[in-house]
Structures are given as structure tokens and as C-alpha cells.
Structure 1
């Protein structure tokens, strides 16, 4: 489960503007984080992803999605500790491939960090519950965003899977676009970037 990090070259990256609808970083320190180059990730099983700091420092959106009991929840409900938010769907092959390792990570990080997987399935909870049962997912709750309200807060610009790490103040640290093995030692080091 070794992840090889390969630096990618980025030229002409505009870190001074935020995508429409997203909050601009508040300080030069936050903007310095977003100036880091993207990093290519490759899992031992061949999954590929990109680690990006381009939106570092931005506040988590306030969009409402559903918890496992159907109640309303927002990312601010997890304030006070780091939160790792995974956007996925049951029809997405790399999403399903990484889910068992995300489930293992949720167990490893219990008490230190909230690890949540928010399904973008338009059918809501039934396909998520069926997938969780079949894949023996035991540590993650079935959060759903069947109205895509949370996805819309990102201007519908998130590819699936995308996973975003927020610090304890609700500011983005980094995001991973694509599937990875979340219980890998290299990912554990990256997760420590959130305070």
C-alpha cells in the first residue's frame, strides 16, 4: 500500500483568484499554502490521483446534506476537529475501490478526526446502504447529498471521487482528486497537515 509521490510541474498558476462562489483565503499565509504545486499520487493497486493545495485556506461551504438518519447536517457541525470529506457515488468505480480503505481510516482516526463520505447518488440512501452492506463498510455513516446541494456549493466542479481535508477551524488544507488507499502510511503523513 505504498503511494509514490511524483511532483507535477505547474506553470502560470493563478493563486490570487478564487473560483466563483468560494471564499477567498484571508491571509498571505493561506495563499502561500495554495501556491504549492499539485502532486501526483499513485497507489500500489494502480489508482491515480492528484493532491492539490489550490483552494487551501477557503472556508467549508454551509450547504445542507443528510446524515445517516435523514437529518440535516452541514460541515460546520464537525467544527473543532479536522474533517476529511469524501465526495463519491455508488456508480463511480474508483469511489467504490477506495471506500474500504476510507472505512479503515475512519477507524484509525476515530476521536482525532471526522472522516465522512457524502454520496452524490440521486437515489439517496438505498444504493448507499446496499453498497455499504455488500462492501462490509462498518466505520462510515451513510451521508447523502441527493439534491447535490453540497456539490453545487463547489459550483458543480468536483470530479468523483474528490476528498477534501479541513482543519479544526473549517478551512481547507488540501484536496485529493481521484482514488487513493486512505489507510496508507504516506496518506497518514498528509492528514497530519490539519490541526
Structure 2
């Protein structure tokens, strides 16, 4: 499985610039439907300006929730794809990216500036409450699709090619 395995938060966070993986390895995530029906988590995240988002109230249209970190190679590999997806699907899908970097805005803001992401939000969860609460504390990226009612349809553990036909077919499940 192509995901960043975090055995210890301290060691994982030391890998700030270790995001180098082969694209085919970085984007070979595993689809898991075992948590279908689970509601959006009751966790509040913040952006670098201090604005907050209550995830449980983020519905209204399908939500693609992505947990990532700057030190995670598969995360970094899929972020440009998520940025393009967010632009393409802005009217029909809300893409929410949440950084699990313990240094928060200190790493996220320059990362977004360097990569020139224009369509992804900079939500931050430096205590990793969200990742551990969703059972994803050991592997990043973790991406979950929720329907318009805020119920989980599926999750992908590891990086994924969000431009692929497979991804498009899976995302279409939220429309029906």
C-alpha cells in the first residue's frame, strides 16, 4: 500500500522534505468501503488565518475530505491532482484538504505558495485529532468521499490518481 506509515508522530514530523516517491508507487491507494454510512466527523479545523470549519456541518453537496502532510510523498504526489479536481468540480463537489503537519501553518503556507495551489483550502489539524478519530492515524493520505447528507461512501488509503477514469467513476457515486 502506498501510504505514509506513522508509527511515531515525533519521527514522522521530522521528515518535512522527504516527499520523493515514484509516481506509480505514490498513487496506488486502496479503496475501502467498510465504513460506508459513517457521518462526517465532529471535528473543527482551522486555516492559517484562524478561520474555523466544523466538518460535521460541511455538507450540502458531496465532500471529498483529504488528510495529508508535507512530509508524505504520496500526499505531495496527489495534491496537484486534487487541486485540478477541486477546480473542475467546484459546482458539484467540495474538496477539503486538512494538513496533519504538527508545525501547522509554518509548513503549510509556504508549501501551498511554492506549489501554487489555487483551489485547495489550507485547513490544519496539528494535533492530528481528525486523523486518529477517523482511524487513519497510521497512514496518510486518507481521502474520504461523503454524500450530500454527510454520509461516507468510501475511503482511499494511500495516494490516488484523481484524474483517472476509476476516480471519476467513484466520484460519480456521490451524485446518485
Is the pair's TM-score, using the shorter chain for normalization, greater than 0.5?
A: yes
Deviation at 1:60, TM superposition (A): 1.4
Q: Are residues 1:183 and 2:132 paired?
A: no
Contact in 1 for aligned 2:82/2:162 (Cα 8 Å)? yes
Matched, 1:60 2:36: no
* SS of match in other structure, 2:108: helix
Cα distance, 1:176 vs structure 2:
0.4
More helix by share: 2
Query: Residue by residue, what CA displacement relative to the aligned partner does 1:159-184 show, whole Å, maximum 9, x if unpaired?
Result: 10010000111110000011112122
Quick check: which has more Rg, 1 or 2?
1
Stretches of structure 1 lacking an aligned partner (at least 5 in a row)? 1-43
Q: Does 1:45 align with 2:43?
A: no
TM-score normalised to structure 1 length:
0.73
| TM-score normalized by the length of structure 2 | 0.80
Of residues 92, 95, 110, the one that matches 1:112 is 92
Q: Give the total of aligned pairs.
A: 153
Alignment of 1:14-25 (within 5 A): none
Matched, 1:193 2:173: yes
C-alpha distance in 2 between matches for 1:157 and 1:143: 17
Preserved contact between residue 28 and residue 161 of structure 2 (Cα < 8 Å): no
Please give the root-mean-square deviation of Cα atoms over the aligned residues, in Å: 1.8
User: Any unmatched runs of 5+ in structure 2?
Assistant: 1-22
Shift of 1:133: 1.4
CA contact (8 A) 1:116 1:141 kept: yes
Query: Deviation at 1:136?
Result: 1.8
SS of residue in 2 equivalent to 1:150: helix
| Residue-by-residue CA offset, 1:78-123 (whole Å, 9 max, x unaligned) | 2111000000000101100110001000001101110011000011
Distance change >3 Å, CA 77–CA 69, structure 1 → 2 = farther
